[in-house]
Structure 1
Amino acid sequence: MGFLGKLSIGLSVIFLGIAVWFSTSKFLPKEYHLPPPPALTGLLTVNKPKVLEKLLEGQVLGPESAVIENNVIYTCTLDGMCLKIVDGKIEKSVPVTAHATNCDGKRKTIPICGRPLGIRRFNSQQFIVADAVLGLLLINFEEETKEVLLPSTTVVDKKRLGFPDDLDIVDNDTILFTDLSAKYGYSDCDLAFFEHIRDGRLLEYKVSTGQLRVLMDGLAVANGVQLHPDKNSVLLCETAMARIHRYYFAGPKKGMQQIFVDNLPGFPDNIRISRSGDSFYVALPFHRNEQKPHIFDRLGPWPLARKFIGELLKILPDNVLQRFVVGPTHGIVLQLDLNGMILRSWHDPEGSVISHISEVDDDGGDFLYLSSFVNNYIGRMSKE
């Protein structure tokens, strides 16, 4: 057999292998379309804060969410630790898995070490943390203890919890939280974006009875959660659709839902209320730009292209994966009023500090604190 014959057979085998690989994969991207992103004009005009600084640089890894109380910061990190930070120094460290070792935040260690994300104060002694691997956790920093409140093995409506992400506390018996995707966990959550699977959920958990029920379903990457001051509704970030929902869990509109704000200039992560209670802060880690569209904007109509990319993502090393998926560094912080209207925006086009942010917390004074799912610091920016 000549060279061309062997080459033909070789290529046929390769293409057959690729075809089998693609056809047997459970990664099935769906077509979707997002409207063109809004122009950065008016209230969205690029406006850089006067003060931008990094706190605890090199001492924290991926501090996803935070609770700010005067001179104390509570946060949880990519290496499976929950931290109490007082006056800029780490005073307490509580691992979410007591006997795990070599927890470095890499994909291979996350299933063993856990990945604590959203954090809220529950009572005078305890915090509740949504862990993407373990479920809902009770953390006591003073006693340095952890308890699993709701394990991720829990099944509701025939679907196991896939990725507990963020939460808020209604009262001492009711917790609302998101399940980012029922299909994908933290180690492969990038596939939830590229598949654009609409299986994210908003759930309600009753602590006293253990009752768990689904309030909203069919969400494309269900993310940040924040109670509205009306105490009857909750806001939820649907990241892959660049919008925020409002769901009424009580009151005369109970069971109703509406779009709170649509077509954001970035893909939202967490949302938090201001200390004054009259506005919300939204973290936009992925900037949307019509001149240089983000990959999630550009490839929406092309599921086959996302299929190819997604299959490659399964085998890429962590450092390559992070550079590919995280994308542009232009960070944006939005301030919204109680009806979803934009009040103000802050930008860091170079991504010097407001880069890949996941949450914005108000200290009640002159500063906002910036959490991140990948950065090795906590950011701080002035409101001016």
Structure 2
Amino acid sequence: MLVFFSTRFLFFSIIFPLLVSIILYQLDSFDPAHLPAESLVSSTTSTPPLLNDKFLTGAEFIGVGLLDNPEDIAYNKDTGLIYTGCVDGWVKRVSIHHDSANDSVVEDWVNTGGRPLGIAFGIHGEVIVADAYKGLLSISDDGKKTELLTDEAEGVRFKLTDAVVVADNGVLYFTDASYKYNISQYAFDLLEGKPHGRLLSFDTITRVTRVLLRDLYFANGVSISPDQTHLVFCETVMRRCSKYYISEDRVEVFIQGLPGYPDNIRYDGDGHYWIAMITGETTSWKLGTKYPLLRKLVAMATKYGFELMFMKNAGIMQVDLNGNPIALYNDHPFSHITSGVKIGNHLYCGSLLHSYITRLDLLKYPAQKKL
């Protein structure tokens, strides 16, 4: 009787669940790919000489409870207002107070009815929004008019319109992170490891949308060089940023082997780019990147609401115009950081997780040489 009980216990507690798992694994249609070898490389040249790895120690929080996952941040220096897009569809305006985060005022400005991500300012005062669901939008007349500029290219609709930047001649450059998965499914694009991203342009005069680059690994943030000759754009899965030379239609690596997974990139007008990294390169992310089998198991768990690819040690890296790293601001419990914008002496950070904008006084809490 004891032997029978032990055998039955072994079958139902170990063998049966294992068989079910194998069957479910075989039946699941999710098919992750091997990533290019360069995505697995960590580079010492991307390690900055200056570090502040206690970001949260000096951090302040703006608009607590009033900003629901403020993903990107754009600052209008003429009005002193921050514009940011939230998960509830609102583009909100924030009047910042440099001396006290508590005195900042949050205003509901325009609701796009979608999920506003990237934000930039057009040359005629309009606000350009990359809405993950809607496409590329233009908001003008102080929020009274919202116009859809484009939502497809080459007959393929955008699935995850992500980041946008405006050139001095008015041309809009933006990314569609994935033509396969929408923002609620973005984790599956990262896990699948296939290039569904595109870099595009929209000419506001001709109204023509062009695909500049395709087959990108989760095309994310995009910025334009001060001399307007090239774009710098991020590929999250590859942990790299690349240059796209506009007149030459040529691509070269800007920085690769980042210590985390890049999201938005912003130029500060003072010779530096700021690259936000949504998570550091944790052990689980390293293993997942290397082994498609693990990514399939993670994807299956994700479908049932389990998060196995933990995000931590997120941060913002400062680099020069040639992609040379200068400083890294991060923290071990920090996660889901999507943008970093330098305004005066402060660094303002957006997030896909928090209900506030995080800011750090760079003079009081500077990055310093590592011991």
Both proteins in one fold, TM over 0.5 = yes
CA distances 1:230-282 after superposition (whole Å, capped 9, x unpaired): 211000011111110000012xxx11110001101111111101132x11111
CA distance in 2, matches of 1:40, 1:204: 29
CA distance in 2, matches of 1:19, 1:325: 18
Q: Which position in structure 1 is the counterpart of 2:274?
A: 281
Alignment of 1:250-269 (within 5 A): 250=247, 254-269=248-263
* Change in CA separation of 1:39 and 1:173 when aligned onto 2, cut-off 3 Å: closer
* Change in CA separation of 1:141 and 1:189 when aligned onto 2, cut-off 3 Å: farther
Q: Does 1:368 align with 2:351?
A: no
CA distance in 2, matches of 1:162, 1:255: 24
Q: Which position in structure 1 is the counterpart of 2:369?
A: none
CA distances 1:80-100 after superposition (whole Å, capped 9, x unpaired): 110122242123421112xxx
Unmatched runs of 5 consecutive residues or more in structure 1? 98-113
CA distances 1:87-132 after superposition (whole Å, capped 9, x unpaired): 42123421112xxxxxxxxxxxxxxxx2110000114441010011
Alignment of 1:306-321 (within 5 A): 306-316=295-305, 320-321=306-307
Secondary structure of the residue aligned to 1:193 is helix
Q: Which position in structure 2 is the counterpart of 1:327?
A: 311
Deviates more, 1:372-381 or 1:48-57: 48-57
Q: Which position in structure 2 is the counterpart of 1:169?
A: 166
Amino acid at match of 2:325: I
Amino acid at match of 1:54: F
Shift of the alpha carbon at 1:39?
9.6
**Matched-pair contact (CA < 8 Å) for 1:93–1:144:** no
Amino acid at match of 1:344: A
**Matched-pair contact (CA < 8 Å) for 2:123–2:170:** no
**Matched-pair contact (CA < 8 Å) for 1:287–1:294:** no
Q: Does 1:29 align with 2:32?
A: yes
CA distance in 2, matches of 1:96, 1:11: 46
Q: How many residues align?
A: 342
What value does the CA root-mean-square deviation take over the aligned residues?
2.7
Alignment of 1:65-104 (within 5 A): 65-70=72-77, 71-87=80-96, 88-97=104-113
CA distance in 1, matches of 2:105, 2:314: 26
Amino acid at match of 2:71: E
CA distance in 2, matches of 1:119, 1:11: 48
CA distance in 2, matches of 1:238, 1:266: 11
* Change in CA separation of 1:338 and 1:78 when aligned onto 2, cut-off 3 Å: same
**Matched-pair contact (CA < 8 Å) for 2:223–2:233:** yes
Q: Does 1:356 align with 2:322?
A: no
CA distance in 1, matches of 2:23, 2:208: 47
CA distances 1:129-156 after superposition (whole Å, capped 9, x unpaired): 00111100112372444221113xx242
Secondary structure of the residue aligned to 1:240 is coil
Alignment of 1:125-274 (within 5 A): 125-140=125-140, 142-151=142-151, 154-156=152-154, 158-171=155-168, 173-250=170-247, 254-274=248-268
Shift of the alpha carbon at 1:160?
2.6
Amino acid at match of 2:255: V
CA distances 1:46-97 after superposition (whole Å, capped 9, x unpaired): 4546742111111101111111134311111011110122242123421112
Q: Does 1:378 align with 2:362?
A: no
Amino acid at match of 1:268: P
Secondary structure of the residue aligned to 1:18 is helix
Deviates more, 1:85-94 or 1:36-45: 36-45
CA distances 1:291-350 after superposition (whole Å, capped 9, x unpaired): xx342321223112211221221231xxx54xx44522x232211111000122222234
CA distance in 2, matches of 1:171, 1:326: 40
Amino acid at match of 2:277: L
Shift of the alpha carbon at 1:13?
8.4
User: TM-score, normalization: structure 2?
Assistant: 0.84
Alignment of 1:339-350 (within 5 A): 339-350=322-333
User: TM-score, normalization: structure 1?
Assistant: 0.81
CA distance in 1, matches of 2:172, 2:229: 14
Amino acid at match of 1:91: E
CA distance in 2, matches of 1:186, 1:378: 21
CA distance in 1, matches of 2:164, 2:242: 15
CA distances 1:166-214 after superposition (whole Å, capped 9, x unpaired): 0111245411111111111111110111111112110111223232221
**Matched-pair contact (CA < 8 Å) for 1:275–1:362:** no
Secondary structure of the residue aligned to 2:128 is strand
**Matched-pair contact (CA < 8 Å) for 2:285–2:309:** no
CA distance in 2, matches of 1:48, 1:373: 20
Amino acid at match of 1:116: P
* Change in CA separation of 1:371 and 1:15 when aligned onto 2, cut-off 3 Å: closer
CA distance in 1, matches of 2:177, 2:119: 15
Q: Which position in structure 2 is the counterpart of 1:120?
A: 120
Deviates more, 1:218-227 or 1:68-77: 68-77
